[in-house]
Structures are given as structure tokens and as C-alpha cells.
Amino acid sequence: MKLLPSLFLAITSIASAQDWPQWRGPLFNGSSPEKNLPTEIGPENSVAWSAPMTGPSASTPVILGDRIFLSSVDKDAQSLHAVCLDRATGKPLWQFKVADGIRRDDKSNLASPSPATDGKVVAFLYGNGELLGFQPDGKLLWRRNLESEYGQFAYQWTYAASPLLFENRLYVQVLQRDQPVHDRGKEGGESYLLCVEPSTGKTLWRHVRPTEAQAESREAFSTPMPFQIDGAWQLLIAGGDMLSGHDPATGSEIWRWGTWNPTRIGHWRLVPSPVAGAGVVLGCAPKKAPVYAVKPSKGALDEKSLAWSSTERAVTSDVPTPAFADGDFFVLSDVSKGLSRVAPDGSIKWSVETPGRIKYEASPLVADGKVYTVNFNAEIAVFNAADGKLIHQASAGSTEDRQVRSMIVAAHGQLFLRTDTRLLCFGKKR
């Protein structure tokens, strides 16, 4: 069983391989085929432009040709926005006010999900259930509210899964509690995968995903990821104490594996999304628990389907999603303060400490032989992907940058970093 190299074929002819069309990039795995990217990036290095942000957000910029799309907040007006910037200058091209109100807790805000585009439609999703489709030029095609239709999200914190656009379908994952929390949600609330027609916003199907997880362990902030396994595409889902694979056409479950939580601990919410490569699907159990590599097949899988689980302290992740590039996994640990390159058989090629004491919760980018990371304070660390050597450090933040969670992305020979206060473009000016 292997992942086929035709992943590039899933990228539409409209959205180029040089774009960054989804949260985890053109290959859905945190890597980019871009070359000749700058290594020394920071406030005084390789800055093409810097654009002010009206408020913090964990959402990652999405790039389509000469346009950058951002989910954003206006902290002064206390409102949510969909934003488009010019990639050449960082200047605004259009902006759409989505709703009033920006947060439900003090850890994050409602603009945490990243947009997604297939070159024809740009989809925006927010933590209050607002789901909107735009043309790239800013024309609103449709909008709907998932909380109004299916019930208020039942999360301890704030819903933050990103939408996925894949093969002319828009997917939204809601893995939540089956009972109210903080007066949000309802008894018997369902976890589900929703499939929407991108051009109209109409529901194609909604698949309910059952789980035996309890309380907060039912919650996941992960995003579904497509991968081709044995010649057929699957949507991979992580959350509710398990990994599962689904038919993209119907949502029907092909397989599931669990559990990393046999005693049903009730506070194991899941943040990292699944990532696959070389015949295995990686899932990161929370709170310093191991990383698990599963060999997908069909039906309810048992321990025989577990290829390996990590034993080294550094190979764990509570928040960042690992990347897959050059045949290996790159696991960034926010809780063990490490970065590791792990082969598909589970062997560790190298493992290094991340510099400083500040947490790295933004997922890593692997591109051009380098691993790009950024911590809460917008301090950048760039590592050599071959040996793990730290090759560059810089601080791109200000005193107001205290919870940067948006990953560095690569597109069209440039790098883009969103801090709490600015969007920075690194590389040659256009």
C-alpha cells in the first residue's frame, strides 16, 4: 500500500502548483515544491512588503496568483471580515464584513479557520458557523450559517477547523460534544462531515461520524485531508479518539482506527490534522501522548494495523500538524520543544530542540530543503531539512505579538508570515 505520486493531479488547472490554496498547501501535507526561497527572513532581511492587520487571527494566508485571502478580525470594531490583498504590494483589494463579535473565549477568536480556494471559488468559514463562497474578485456567491442549520457548536473553546476544497467539492468537518458546554450546543448533538457544492453553497450530503469518546475528547480542531491510497482518494479525519478514512464522493466510512485513549479520558481534545505518506497515516494524540502511524485498509482496524508509535519524548505534538516531505515526516512538538525528522518506519533521522522558551504552535513548512517554524512571539527559526541544523533565527514580532499561530507559507518564490499585527512577505519584490 502506498501513496501515489499523482497528488499533483488533484490540483486544478486554475489553481497553480505555485499557489498555496489550502491551509496545508498544494499537496495537503505542509510542504511546497517551491525552490530558491529565502533562508534569512526577518524584519531586516528579505522583506518585500509589510501590511498591517486589524487584529490577530490563527488563520493562515491563502495565495491564488496575485491575490492573498485572509480570514480576519477588526479588534476595534469587534467584527469578522473576509479580506483580499494584492500579492505584489500587500494593499487591500477587497474586504467583506461577515458579522459582529469576534470571540467566545480568551484563547482564540472566531477567525481561526483558514480560507480555501480552487481558483474559481474562495471559501471562508468562521467559528460562529458562518460559511461563505466568493469569486476571487470579491463577488459574494452565497452564504449560510451552520449553527443556524445544525445547532450551535458544542466546544470547550472555539471552533477552528478549516474548510477543504477538493475535486469540485467543499468539505467542512464538525467534531463536537453530544451535550452542551458553557451553554453552547445541545443534547444529542452530532459530529459530522458536511459536503457542499462550491459554486452554490448547497448541501450535497452530511455524514454523521459516531464515536465512543467522552466529553471534551469528542472535540477536534483538525481539518480533513485528502490522500490517494491504493489508487483511490480518501478523506482522512482525526478526532474523537480515532483516525478514519472516508469516501470523498459520499462521506461513507472506509476504515477507522482507535483508540489511543482506551480508558476514555474525557479531556483529550484533538488539534493536529492527519497527514499521510509512504503508506501510513499519522495521527498525533494530545497532551504529550505518542504519535501513531496507521496502515489504512478497510473496516474497523485493530492493533495489527498500527505500523508504529513514537517512544521518544520529542516525537509528540499537542497542537502543530506534522509535515510530510522528501519521503519523511517532520514533527514539531510544542509541548516537548523539539523538531524531529521521522522515517515512514518510525526511525528518527534527527531530533533537535527548538530555540528559546516560547511555544511553537504554528505548524511547520517544509520547502526548498528547509523547515520554517515560528513561535508565539513571531520569532522565526529555520532548520536544514537534511540534518536539523538551525541555520537562521530572527524576530519578526513586536511587543503586541504574543500568540502567533499562523504557519509560514510559500508561494511564487516568496514566503508569507502572519503575525498578530502584520502580514509580512519575504523574497524578491514584484
Average pLDDT, stretch 320-326? 98
- Cβ distance 220 to 229 under 8 Å? no
Q: Is pLDDT at 255 greater than 50 in this prediction?
A: yes
The Cβ of residue 421 has, within 10 Å, a number of other Cβ atoms equal to 18
Cell of 100: 459582529
- Do 351 and 312 touch, CB atoms closer than 8 A? yes
How far apart are the C-alpha atoms of 230 and 2, rounded to whole Å?
6
Q: What is the pLDDT of residue 15?
A: 58
What's the mean per-residue pLDDT of the chain?
94
The answer to whether the beta carbons of residues 142 and 200 sit under 8 Å apart is yes
| Cell digits of residue 384 | 536544514
Q: Is residue 392 within 8 Å of residue 369, measured between CB atoms? A: no
* Dist CA 66 CA 430 (whole Å): 10
Check pLDDT > 50 for residue 358. yes
Higher per-residue confidence, 428 vs 283? 283
* Greater model confidence, 143 or 183: 143
Q: What is the mean pLDDT of residues 328-353?
A: 97
- C-alpha R_g of the chain: 20
Distance CA 418, CA 131 (A): 22
Q: What percent of the chain has a predicted confidence (pLDDT) above 70?
A: 96
Q: What is the pLDDT of residues 158-204, one digit of tens each?
A: 999 999 999 999 999 999 999 999 989 999 999 999 999 999 999 99
Q: How far is CA 321 from CA 230, 406, 417, in A?
A: 24, 12, 17
Q: Please write the tens of the pLDDT for every residue from 84-124.
A: 999 999 999 999 999 999 988 877 899 999 999 999 999 99
Please, are residues 275 and 324 in contact by the beta-carbon 8 Å criterion? yes
Cell numbers for 71? 480570514
**Nearest-angstrom CA–CA distance, 215 and 26:** 34
Rounded-to-integer distance, Cα 403 and Cα 55, Å: 12
Taking 80 as the threshold, does the pLDDT of residue 4 lie above it?
A: no
104 close to 2: Cβ distance less than 8 angstroms: no
C-alpha cell of residue 374: 515560528
Residue 7 has pLDDT above 70, yes or no: no
For residue 259, whether the previous peptide bond is cis, meaning omega lies within 30 degrees of 0, is yes
Rounded Cα–Cα distance for residues 148 and 161 (Å): 18
**Which residue type sits at 113?**
P
Which triple of cell numbers denotes residue 83? 479580506
pLDDT at 6 over 60: no
Predicted TM-score (pTM) of the model is 0.95
Question: Left if phi > 0, otherwise alpha if psi is -120 to 50, otherwise beta: which for 25?
Answer: left
Residue 36, classified by CB atoms within 10 Å of its CB into exposed (0-12), middle (13-18) or buried (19+), is: exposed
Nearby residues of 183 by Cβ (< 8 Å), 6 or more positions away: none
Q: Which domains does the chain have, with CATH numbers?
A: 5-426 (2.130.10.10)
